[in-house]
Amino acid sequence: MCGIAGAMSRDGSPVAPDLLARLAAALGHRGPDGQGTHQRDDVGLAHARLAIIDLQGGHQPLFAGDDLALVANGEIYNYRELRAEMPGEPYRTLSDCEPPLYLYRRRGLAFTDALRGMYAIALHDARAGRLVLARDPFGIKPLYYAETDRLFAFASEPAALVAAGIVPPKVAEAPREELLNLQFTTGAATIFPGILRVLPGETLVVERGRIVDRRRLSALPPPRTGPAVRRESVAVQAFDQLFAETVELHQRSDVPYGMFLSGGVDSSAVLAMMARLNPQPVLAFTAGFPETGVPDEREHARAVARAAGAEHVEVAVTEKDFWDHLPAIAACMDDPAADYAVVPTWLLAREARKSVTVILSGEGGDELFGGYGRYRHAMRPWPFAKPMRRKGTFDGLNVLRQPPGAWRDGFARAEAAAAGQKWRTRLQAAQALDIADWLPNDLLTKLDRCLMAHGMEGRVPFLDVALAAFAFPLPDRLKVRRGHGKWLLREWLRRTLPASQPFTPKRGFTVPVGEWIARHGAMLGPMVVAQPGVVELVDPEAGRHLFTSGDKRARFAAWTLLFYALWYRRHVLGRMPEGDVFATLTAAP
């Protein structure tokens, strides 16, 4: 995992070296193991490296012939197989990111069809005079771009485009409404006007500083032409084989790796398979919240780790940790997601970095195997079905100066697109909807930024195109049965690691941010509602009341405003965190 950036001028002039230097400097935390640049004709590329595979020889940019140059962020897990399929190519390194150069030479823009991994790739084809950007189908690795009257620029993080002076630090109204009410933003538009996402699975072709072509590779399979797996026993066996394959691929690394264990079904499944595949004990990290009113999963995770023979590291996340580190956590989320799970994720990564460089995590299990309770609501027949995310965070609270309006428009467009595939069941449409936006723009953004803040790589073995091709078309009854989501995954885990108790009802994962905020609400509320970026949005009296309310929705709204206030200070005002939450909020804007 690394950071990439670059630019292509519109008038054919060389890209200024100082622009590349500013982009690379802004991404330095993503690549502590070295930097590299490429400049030729009207294109410049920059790379900040976190060394994972081919530690000595895998420096980037990578080259093929005298016309192709590439920088990449991520991992191509099937690189060994790709090299074996192209044995005659003059490879210069053992890097997993070198085969895409030769795939491009052979297949053109279809080169991504053969890739199995997570990636954001920038490739300069000097002979064709074009720049090619490509992002993996699930959007595991981030990639952003901006077009100005002078150039086309791209980077792994929007903050780099702002820091380089390409785009000013302003806030777009519609994505801001989405963030406040959905906790993430949708589609290509980011919260920064003029900065767009390369969509999951998208390949862009840029010539003379303008996008001239687009191609999209779906994470989900097309309608089946043959019979889907329907028998329970066959499905469990097929999953076992595929999951073993994908976890083995995700363990390919020349540096130490471990995993995040919550004790839930998804992370327990990852641990079970890692334990089978590794001769040494797996290093598993679990977060818990002592002396709070929320469930502490450490005891159960401890039992699961013991049964799997894992080495278990427990991280106690305290109220002091929350106040001390939240400014830095919000600062790392430049593409913001007001998901309170950023807190334990960031703190787990800080601890894990002392031992490992790579972490495997369970994101994607719910989306592929039908785990969320909202899916079961969506499966109900009309008129009993409930649309997902039908109520925004601030709906009915009478806190915002302008009532929430168009916050659901982007989500509704994705909703219509997911349901527009008539062959899909209601469950599959709900899964596809989450895979389109919630997964890449919340869960995967959180994992990427929180780990990269500590120079770590996060891997998600459930989000594998081969596993998705198996899981998504499964009949609904193999996903949801007797009130249990992820039925197939639970059944496999029951057979594989019984101590995980996959059919025992679990209390949902919760971070006690509302509890912590309420203890200091009388002091914190006035600080937050007076902050730049918040003061113009919120009625002061109603906003202050959020921070002392015992209502669950009000407390989540208070968390959202606190996160947004800290984010705004860092990414719009350009102020670095100054101590804990209280010191940061009372510092001069």
Domain parsing of the chain, residue ranges: 3-216, 232-379+437-500, 513-586
| Catalytic one of 2, 97, 332, 450 | 2
Residue 551 annotated as binding site: no
Instruction: Kindly report whether the global pTM for this prediction surpasses the value 0.75.
Output: yes
Whether 476 contacts 425, CB under 8 Å = yes
Class of the domain covering 3-216: alpha beta
Is residue 155 classed as helix, strand or coil in its secondary structure? strand
Relative to beta strand 358-360, strand 457-459 is parallel
Which tokens sit at 363?
């994101």
State the Cα–Cα distance between residues 180 and 404, nearest whole angstrom: 9
pLDDT at 227: 58
CB atoms within 10 A of CB 458: 24
State the Cα–Cα distance between residues 229 and 503, nearest whole angstrom: 22
One-letter identity of residue 506: K
Residue 117 annotated as binding site: no
Q: Which of 335, 341, 364 is nearest to 439 (CA)?
A: 364
pLDDT at 61: 97
Concerning whether 97 is annotated as a catalytic residue, the answer is no
Q: What are the Cα distances from residue 186, in Å, to 17, 55, 366, 414?
A: 34, 36, 19, 8
Digitized pLDDT (tens) for each residue of the chain, 589 residues in all: 699 999 999 999 999 999 999 999 999 999 999 999 999 999 999 999 999 999 999 999 999 999 999 999 999 999 999 999 999 999 999 999 999 999 999 999 999 999 999 999 999 999 999 999 999 999 999 999 999 999 999 999 999 999 999 999 999 999 999 999 999 999 999 999 999 999 999 999 999 999 999 999 999 998 875 556 778 989 999 999 999 999 999 999 999 999 999 989 999 999 999 999 999 999 999 999 998 888 888 999 999 999 999 999 999 999 999 999 999 999 999 999 999 999 999 999 999 999 999 999 999 999 999 999 899 988 888 777 788 888 999 999 999 998 888 899 999 999 888 888 888 999 999 999 999 999 999 999 999 999 999 999 999 999 999 999 999 999 999 999 988 999 999 999 999 999 999 999 876 678 999 999 999 999 999 999 999 999 999 999 999 999 999 899 999 999 999 999 999 999 999 999 989 999 999 998 8
Q: What are the Cα distances from residue 558, in Å, to 108, 378, 394, 400, 538?
A: 50, 28, 10, 12, 11
Domain 232-379+437-500 has CATH 3.40.50.620: yes
pLDDT at 381: 81
pLDDT at 553: 94
Residue 335 annotated as binding site: no
**Long-range CB contacts (within 8 A, 24+) of 321-325:** 321/347, 322/513, 322/516, 322/581, 323/516, 323/580, 323/581, 323/582, 324/580
pLDDT at 228: 67
Which residues have a Cβ under 8 Å from the Cβ of 70 and sit 6 or more positions away? 60, 61, 62, 63, 64, 97, 98, 100, 101, 121, 122, 123, 124
